[in-house]
Amino acid sequence: MIQRIQTVYLLLSAAVSAGLIFIFHLWTNTDDVPVYAKDDYLYLGLFLGSALLSLISIFNFKNRKFQFVLGRLNIILNFILLGFFVYQLLIPPGESHISEKGVGIFIPILSIVLLVLANKAIKKDEDLVKSVDRLR
């Protein structure tokens, strides 16, 4: 069901996770070269995995409980990605190859916000269906 608001949120989350990683750089290394997610396979895999989970969740609109679980797994995946970024940023400056942070580090936060909004809408739909079932 494309007309539901959680579908819009999930589609935006997939677009953020899969599209913005090629536009915004994660950080700049010591040679003043911007580093994108496509340059590191770990970050690329986690971002694309998040986008794939969002798309799978969109097409499981008939099974709202599974859709809700996929949303939670996607939130956990984005927190793991955010943890990797924090770890990279907390390495002491002498040992780190990062000289300047980029806007791309905030992409998982935006994705988490969209996924929380989608899960809230999924939960609202599930509660509505349960209330109608009680009336039958």
Single-letter code of the amino acid located at 77: L
Range name among 2-6, 21-25, 87-91, 99-103 with the lowest pLDDT average: 99-103
The reply to whether 134 falls in a domain is no
pLDDT at 59 over 80: yes
Q: What is the pLDDT of residue 31?
A: 82
Q: What is the pLDDT of residues 43-53, one digit of tens each?
A: 999 999 999 99
- Tell me if 119 sits within 8 A of 68, measured CB to CB: yes
Half-sphere exposure of 111 (CA within 13 A, CB side): 35
For residue 135, tell me if it sits in a domain: no
Instruction: Note whether residue 17 is domain-resident.
Output: yes
- DSSP letters, 24-50, are S-SEEETTS-EE-GGGSHHHHHHHHHH
Angle between helices 5-19 and 64-90 (to 10 degrees): 30
66 has a pLDDT exceeding 90: yes
Q: Is residue 111 part of a domain?
A: yes
Q: Tens digit of pLDDT for each residue in 79-117?
A: 999 999 888 888 776 666 777 788 888 999 999 999 999
Does residue 59 lie in a domain region?
yes
Mean pLDDT (whole number) for 64-92: 91
In a domain? residue 21: yes
Percent helix, strand, coil in the chain (nearest 5)? 75, 5, 20
Whether 75 is in a domain gets the answer yes
Q: How far apart are CA 3 and CA 100, in angstroms?
A: 41
Mean pLDDT on 2-30: 89
Residues forming a β-bridge with 29: 98
Would the pLDDT of 56 be above 90?
A: yes
Do 1 and 61 contact (CB within 8 A), yes or no? yes
User: Rounded mean pLDDT of 2-23?
Assistant: 91
Structure pTM? 0.89
Number of domains in the chain: 1
pLDDT of 29 reads 82
Domain that holds residue 82: 5-128
Strand partners, 100: 28
